[in-house]
């Protein structure tokens, strides 16, 4: 009788994310994930039910990590400005989460996350309507910079954007 292999979900989800990053949605199958993890495709079927279920579970886990990181950044940077807060969250590539906007539940998580980040930025910018508007623009600039950073120089520094918006 062969020995059962225990591969944690995190390993499977990392493989799913790698395939999504490298080849998009079409690159993810039970076979391709099985090759990366060493698990047999039928094992993945038993664990996740369907390919979409596997991808969805991986995406929810990615959102869990991002939300946890953001909460930690909010708590640890209460005495810092907007730039320090965004740096504490760490890199967030919007392209990684873009496909999630097609799934209503994941889109709801994205909307809530953005609102939380903008609220934290608003507080660091002093509160009020001007700070809310500046926070929304700063969020857009931060995500735009992250999206285009792979194409070369970021074009601006976040601290310059903060200075112009405040």
Query: What is the predicted pLDDT for the residue at 1?
Result: 47
The CA distance from 70 to 86, in Å, is 9
C-alpha 166/C-alpha 36 separation (Å) is 48
**Overall average pLDDT of the 103-114 stretch:** 93
CA distances from 22 to 3, 17, 27, 52, 141 (A): 32, 9, 8, 18, 25
H or E element in which residue 103 lies:
none
pLDDT, mean of residues 78-85: 92
Given a cut of 70, whether residue 136 has pLDDT beyond it is: yes
CA–CA distances in Å: residue 46 to residues 11, 28, 51, 165: 16, 17, 11, 52
Query: Is the confidence at residue 119, as pLDDT, over 90?
Result: yes
Decide if pLDDT at 60 tops 90.
yes
pLDDT at 123: 95
pLDDT for the residue 100: 83
Q: Place 117 in a pLDDT band, splitting at 50, 70 and 90.
A: very high
- Paired tokens of 90: 């760490």
Q: Name the DSSP class of 125.
A: T
What mean pLDDT is reported for the chain?
A: 88
Per-residue pLDDT at 101 exceeds 50:
yes
């Amino acid at each position: 009788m062969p020995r059962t292999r225990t591969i944690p979900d995190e390993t499977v989800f990392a493989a799913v994310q790698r395939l999504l990053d490298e080849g998009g949605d079409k690159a993810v199958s039970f076979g391709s994930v099985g090759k990366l993890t060493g698990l047999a495709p039928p094992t993945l079927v038993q664990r996740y039910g369907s390919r979409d279920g596997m991808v969805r579970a991986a995406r929810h886990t990615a959102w869990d990590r991002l939300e946890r990181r953001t909460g930690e950044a909010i708590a640890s940077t209460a005495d810092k400005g907007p730039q320090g807060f965004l740096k504490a969250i760490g890199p967030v590539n919007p392209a990684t989460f873009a496909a999630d906007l097609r799934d209503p539940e994941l889109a709801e998580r994205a909307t809530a996350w953005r609102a939380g980040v903008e609220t934290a930025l608003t507080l660091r910018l002093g509160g009020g309507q001007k700070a809310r508007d500046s926070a929304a623009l700063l969020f857009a600039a931060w995500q735009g910079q992250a999206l285009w950073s792979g194409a070369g120089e970021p074009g601006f520094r976040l601290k310059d954007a903060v200075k112009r918006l405040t």
